[in-house]
């Protein structure tokens, strides 16, 4: 799955749990957790969708999350887990969910450039965008706080699309550009407030 799908689905699951658990989510943290598993793309020796996409990493990540968020951990944990078990399970070669016990990849094998994936990511983005507007989360994102700096990670995942280094289906270009502008704007406000 491309960045847009991971970010949209991560937001949607976290926002759903926010309502169910009557808690308040930290939007920059949710966005970062939705995409952080793709850090393996920056490490030459790591196989993409291997170690970083496994249950053991999700389990290990839950430890600091629990200390940071306590009982409110579930929106964050599911934002993290959806990356492997919804997004990447659906598309491509799947994920090595049981690493290090098994290096076998599990998934449905939907091609990333397929209409099925474009529809899944596009509709997820439209649902997330609509919810962000209705809940005023877009405005909330611009309220600079310490965790706003975490948006550097999701910004880094949409940047290659914006500069033409990563090809995505045409229908997913506008969502990638929108997220690039959103994250850049929030980070610029954070930098401005940090300097002043």
* pLDDT, tens digit (0-9, with 9 covering 90-100), for 30-47: 999 999 999 998 888 888
DSSP labels, 41-89: GG-TTSPTTSGGGSHHHHHHHHHHHHHHHGGGGHHHHHHHHHIIIIIIH
pLDDT band at 109 (very low <50, low <70, confident <90, very high): very high
Q: What distance in Å separates the CA atoms of residue 33 and residue 191, rounded to the nearest whole number?
A: 21
* Mean pLDDT score across all residues of the chain: 94
Helices and strands (H, E) in the chain, number of each type = 9, 0
Residues 170-179: what's their mean pLDDT?
Answer: 97
Residue with tokens 């965008």: 129
- Give me the pLDDT at residue 196, please: 67
Residue 53 has pLDDT above 90, yes or no: yes
Q: How many CA atoms lie within 13 Å of 133's alpha carbon, on the beta-carbon side?
A: 5
Say if residues 49 and 96 touch (Cβ distance below 8 Å): yes
Share of the chain above pLDDT 70, in %: 99
Question: Which of residues 152 and 145 earns the better pLDDT score?
Answer: 152
Give the range of the structural domain holding residue 77, as residue numbers without chain letter: 3-195
Domain count, the chain: 1
Say if residues 151 and 101 touch (Cβ distance below 8 Å): no
In tens, the pLDDT along 70-101 reads 889 999 999 999 999 999 999 989 999 999 99
Q: What distance in Å separates the CA atoms of residue 158 and residue 32, rounded to the nearest whole number?
A: 12
Residue 159 has pLDDT above 80, yes or no: yes
- Give me the pLDDT at residue 187, please: 96
Residue 158 has pLDDT above 70, yes or no: yes
């Amino acid at each position: 799955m491309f960045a847009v799908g991971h970010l949209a689905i991560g937001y949607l699951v976290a926002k759903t749990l926010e309502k169910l658990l009557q808690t308040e989510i930290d939007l920059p943290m949710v966005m970062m957790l939705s995409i952080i598993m793709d850090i393996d793309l920056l490490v030459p020796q790591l196989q993409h969708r291997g170690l970083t996409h496994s249950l053991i990493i999700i389990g290990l990540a839950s430890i600091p999350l629990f200390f940071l968020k306590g009982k409110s951990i579930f929106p964050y944990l599911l934002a993290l887990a959806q990356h492997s078990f919804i997004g990447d399970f659906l598309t491509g070669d799947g994920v090595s969910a049981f690493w290090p016990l098994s290096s076998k990849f599990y998934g449905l094998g939907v091609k990333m450039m397929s209409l099925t994936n474009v529809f899944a990511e596009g509709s997820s983005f439209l649902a997330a965008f609509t919810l962000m507007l209705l809940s005023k989360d877009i405005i909330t994102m611009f309220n600079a706080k310490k965790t706003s700096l975490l948006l550097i990670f999701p910004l880094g995942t949409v940047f290659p699309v914006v500069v033409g280094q990563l090809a995505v289906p045409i229908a997913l270009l506008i969502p990638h550009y929108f997220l690039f502008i959103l994250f850049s704007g929030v980070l610029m406000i954070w930098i401005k407030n940090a300097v002043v």
